[in-house]
Amino acid sequence: MKKIIPILFVLFLIYGFVNKEEILIPDYAIRFRVIANSNTLEDQTEKMEIKEAVEKELNSLVSQAKSSKEAENIIENNLENIKEIINQYTTDYQINFGLNYFPEKEYKGVRYPSGDYESLVITLGSGNGENWWCVMFPPLCLLEAKERNTEDIHYTFYVKEVLEKYTG
């Protein structure tokens, strides 16, 4: 009996790795990224404050979009509003909406491959600090914020559900 438990455990682990379904973010996704000026506490704090303010605006704007094209148009038409939000802070910045490079990211079992993606990128100051980013459409930024403290399997399930909703 004592030998069966370790054997079952090993089989369970192997089954988990073999049957793990990889979820990839679709090409039509739109990402949102904020790059800090530097890694000082002040610059990282400012990055997160700007991220939260802009993300709140983007979520309210894009949440009703039915397609990535509709989401792109909404963002494009609201770039001045987004700039007004960032202008409330004292930092210099650059904003780019279009194709931008993203490094690979894996978060809670979901792989986000590196590459050039349609995205809104805000670079603060010299842009030499750590960045934050998420998928804005389909609305995974909202999901990531809500599911931050949940288990990986729940997050992965919700990501798959959201992606299926916006497929087609």
Cα–Cα distance between 131 and 140 in angstroms, integer? Answer: 17
Apex 122 CA angle, 110 and 87, nearest 5: 140
Q: What are 60-72's pLDDT values in tens digits? A: 898 888 899 999 9
Q: What are phi and psi of 112, to 5 degrees?
A: -115, 100
> 167: pLDDT confidence band, cut at 50, 70 and 90?
low
Predicted confidence at residue 147, as pLDDT, reads 45
**69, 135 Cβ separation under 8 angstroms:** no
pLDDT top residue among 18 and 47: 47
The whole-model pTM stands at 0.74
Residue 97 structure tokens: 């909406």
Q: What are 102-151's pLDDT values in tens digits? A: 888 877 777 788 899 999 999 999 999 999 988 888 877 755 544 444 45
| Ranges of H-type helices in 26-102 | 41-62, 68-77, 79-86
With a CB cutoff of 8 Å and minimum separation 6, the contacts of 7 are none
> By three-state DSSP, how is residue 40 classified?
coil
Predicted confidence at residue 142, as pLDDT, reads 59
Q: What are 71-90's pLDDT values in tens digits? A: 999 999 999 999 999 999 97
Q: What is the pLDDT averaged over residues 36-55?
A: 96
pLDDT at residue 19 tops 50: no
For the beta carbon of residue 57, count every other beta carbon within 10 angstroms. Answer: 15
pLDDT top residue among 41 and 20: 41
User: Can you tell me which residue has the tokens 């100051």?
Assistant: 125
Cα–Cα distance between 116 and 150 in angstroms, integer? Answer: 29
Predicted confidence at residue 18, as pLDDT, reads 40
> By three-state DSSP, how is residue 94 classified?
strand
